[in-house]
Amino acid sequence: MSKALEGIRVVDMTHVQAGPVCTQMLAWLGADVIKVEPPGRGDVTRSQLRDIPDVDSLYFTMLNANKRSLTLDIKSEPGREILWQLLRRSDVLVENFGPGALDRQGFTWERLSEEAPRLIYASIKGFGPGEYENAKAYETIAQAMGGAMSTTGYEDGPPTSTGAQIGDSGSAVHLLAAILAALIQRQRTGRGQLVQVAMQHSVLNLCRVKLRDHQRLQRGPLAEYPNKEFGHSVPRSGNASGGGQPGWALRCHPGGANDFIYVIIQPHIWHRLLQKIGREDLIGDPRWETPEARIGHLDEVFALVESWTMQHSKWEAFRELNEIDVPCGPVLDTMDLVQDDSLRQSGMVVEVDHPERGPYVTVGCPLRLSDSPVEIQRAPLLGEHSEEVLREVLGLEDGELAKLQGQRVI
């Protein structure tokens, strides 16, 4: 079966997490993603957080599936020339180096748009134009500067980073959307364009509701927050749902670190929930009856439900609450996730084989297209496809390849 992005060639000059996650999705959607890496060491993550000596790390292999790897020294003249040739024959260039890195090698947007007018040049940086534009950034810096850290955690604890990589992988998803839009626009205009996503902007976009609350706060306390006192900025609100319906993480049996279920209380299931937890006596009680009445003492409301959840495992509670249509979710730890049958069945947790590390588990593709099925393939070894790509795309022959190898350009 054909793939959505079949025929689209991507020069993938990404490293670490933010860029590779974006190009991995392009590859899953069927693009030919050629990862260009410095000869000898490749993407720095190949050797970071290694669990097996001298074998590409899971950090690398889980973020670079379905790609081809070409080693190319872009700090050498022949390397830069090959990259120019490759870019002239490609649809998209994606990079997330520190500010100015590709410019320093002569690959400025001005020159790229002249040499390869159909090319979409997609770039992730820490920050947008302005005071911080030359600063480097990592995941947690974006979380700190995009509003996530100040609003995550408990009021009496420090700002906290989230496990979800909203700075890196969040930026990757934003960049994917922008690249796909640029590809569609190119169908009409025939021109590529410069596509930029800043990590700080991506996190801020994901923290949109916190700026909603910031403005609400200027008119008075936020009733649905568990906090008793408010300053000028939106406080950390623990596990409050952040939405129009209150929610909280409730303890479950037997009380382990992740024996919790997150429960949302919708107004129309309140009576059913009271029946389920054996508190029919509260039905009709004005202190408990309406959302407006409950919002003033949500801590007591959730304590009531928790006295029931604590008698059940998180999975039992999940099943029983689902029977009466209560939106809820057990807190799954990483062991739960890798063992989850439904995630395996849906291809979200998959095992692939690797010539050096053997089988490993990776996270599959969350995008499901009926006409563009995804088959997760292992990440490439460093330079595994150098010759293949240079022959196929640039038509290089044995002698030229041997010369480039001799010069350590590839």
Query: Under the rule (CB under 6 A), what is the footprint of ligand COA?
Result: 16-19, 36-38, 72-75, 96-98, 101, 104-105, 124-126, 136-138, 168, 199
Q: What is the nearest approach in angstroms of ligand COA to the Cβ of residue 386?
A: 12
Q: Cβ closer to ligand COA: 82 or 321?
A: 82
Q: Cβ closer to ligand COA: 107 or 360?
A: 107
Active site residue 168: yes
Q: Cβ closer to ligand COA: 60 or 270?
A: 60
Query: Residue 216: is it exposed, middle or buried by C-beta count within 10 angstroms (0-12/13-18/19+)?
Result: middle
Q: What is the nearest approach in angstroms of ligand COA to the Cβ of residue 103?
A: 9
Q: What is the nearest approach in angstroms of ligand COA to the Cβ of residue 34?
A: 12
Residue, CB closest to ligand COA? 98
Q: Cβ closer to ligand COA: 75 or 212?
A: 75
Q: Cβ closer to ligand COA: 9 or 312?
A: 9
Instruction: Give me the catalytic one of 12, 32, 56, 168.
Output: 168
Just list the catalytic residues. Answer: 168
